[in-house]
Amino acid sequence: MLPVKGFSGQKVAVLGLGRSGLATAAALKAGGAEPLLWDDSPEARAKAEAEGFACVDLTRNGVLDEAVCLVTSPGIPHLYPSPNKVIARALELGIPVDNDIGLFFRSFGSAAWDDFETPPKVVCITGSNGKSTTTALIHHILQVAGRPTQMAGNIGKGVLSIDPPQDGEVVVLELSSYQTDLARALTPDVAVFTNLSPDHLDRHNGIGGYFAAKRRLFAEGGPDRAVVGVDEVEGRFLANQLAMGPGDDRVIRVSSGQKLEGFGWSVFARKGFLAEWRRGKQVASIDLREVAGLPGAHNHQNACAAYAACRSLGLAPKLIEGALQSFAGLPHRSQLVAERAGVRFINDSKATNVDSAAKALQAFQKIRWIAGGMGKDGGLSGIEPFLGSVVKAYLIGHSARDFALQIGETPHEICETMERAVARAAAEAGPGEVVLLAPAAASFDQYPNFEKRGEDFTARVKALIG
């Protein structure tokens, strides 16, 4: 645990008692603060009380007034579409509102570092797609290199649940827009921006607000090194704002598909090969085509981002190349579940929006595509150019019939349930084809989260093929 500094003897309100909320309460208490806990859910309050915390209703008049800070969980709206009533009251009273990420950065340093040979560092990864894979890949490369490292944030454990860092340790954090939007302190040593596509637009009041939330990771604290995906205009804009000119190697531009040879430092992938360029010269190259854990151009972009971050930490290209080969990938992200009679079954349940689903469709040929769920704004708008490899679509969930109207002449079948979709796709698939779950939709109509959806797909596949 990382004790929170700066609140000893003071009352700090904690709103939301999920994983991050309980970890925050424990870290505040360890730092000498008195946490005031609240969650609208009786079950969440009961769990907190079972762990020895007292809950107090922050919605009651006068209770919040005693707090010097309000720490809120990421899923609770603080501005759009409208602030939670407790947060609205804190804004009226002028009580600072923060989250666990902000507390982490204000508490990360320690007097023990005076005796360290190499101060610990923090690498933060944000963006729309590929955050988790890039985060896990950086963590894996560091482990292979023998560097002490911990992974936390939007993946793994909560940031305040990590152990106090060791000499030379690198903490790797995946941060969502919900986390970067509110944190009052954001001071990573290395910050990574993977890409941007429309998501969470209601929470951020549009694409501009969504990008602004991501941009805070780079603008608030000013990382020593910024790794920026430049395949969208927002990434190019961000890189332009951060760099003093094209030769400024504090910004490492990353791309999947573009040659980036005219910059101080760049890493890009084309036709399956990763290339690192510095000051107009190529300094390294890696063949990504046979890296089993990173299939497709979208994963090659993740590889470039992770490579760039690790190079900025001083790791050698050959070491990184070896670590890429041993990376197994993450569950629910282009995960090979099984193979039978020349048919591969791929679980990409994390593909919850059109952009991520499109990337999955580009990674494979001859696809039996399982899609659907709780469709997002715009439905499948923009997916048409990527349907050429789809042999047939098997549509499930709340949006199945809407999706059927949006995929043009692509052969399809309304299956409604995962069980039927897997059975029908497996029965019709032939050698060389891929049965791909890439829903392009949220899971909440049939599952509590994308993980459970992916687990159901995996279980159905394994039950079917024995």
What are the binding residues? Answer: 127-133
| Binding-site residue set for ATP | 127-133
- Report, in angstroms and rounded to the nearest whole number, the Rg of the chain calculated over CA atoms: 23
H or E segment to which residue 235 belongs:
helix 233-242
In angstroms, the CA 84 to CA 13 distance is 14
In angstroms, the CA 427 to CA 433 distance is 12
User: Which one-letter amino acid corresponds to residue 23?
Assistant: A
In the numeric block, which tokens belong to residue 306?
A: 């992770």
Which of helix, strand or coil describes residue 214?
helix
Closest of 31, 23, 108 to residue 71, by C-alpha: 23
In angstroms, the CA 177 to CA 444 distance is 20
Closest of 202, 198, 221 to residue 101, by C-alpha: 221
Closest of 317, 316, 319, 349 to residue 333, by C-alpha: 349
Q: Which residues, at least 6 apart from 430, have a Cβ–Cβ distance to it below 8 Å?
A: 342, 343
Closest of 185, 158, 186, 152 to residue 170, by C-alpha: 152
Distance, C-alpha 261 to centroid of its chain: 28
CA angle, corner 236, sides to 231 and 241, nearest 5? 160
Give the neighbor-by-neighbor strand order of the sheet with 170-174.
149-153, 170-174, 121-126, 190-193, 225-229, 251-256, 265-270, 273-278, 281-287
Within 13 Å and on the Cβ side, how many CA atoms surround 217?
32
In angstroms, the CA 215 to CA 241 distance is 10
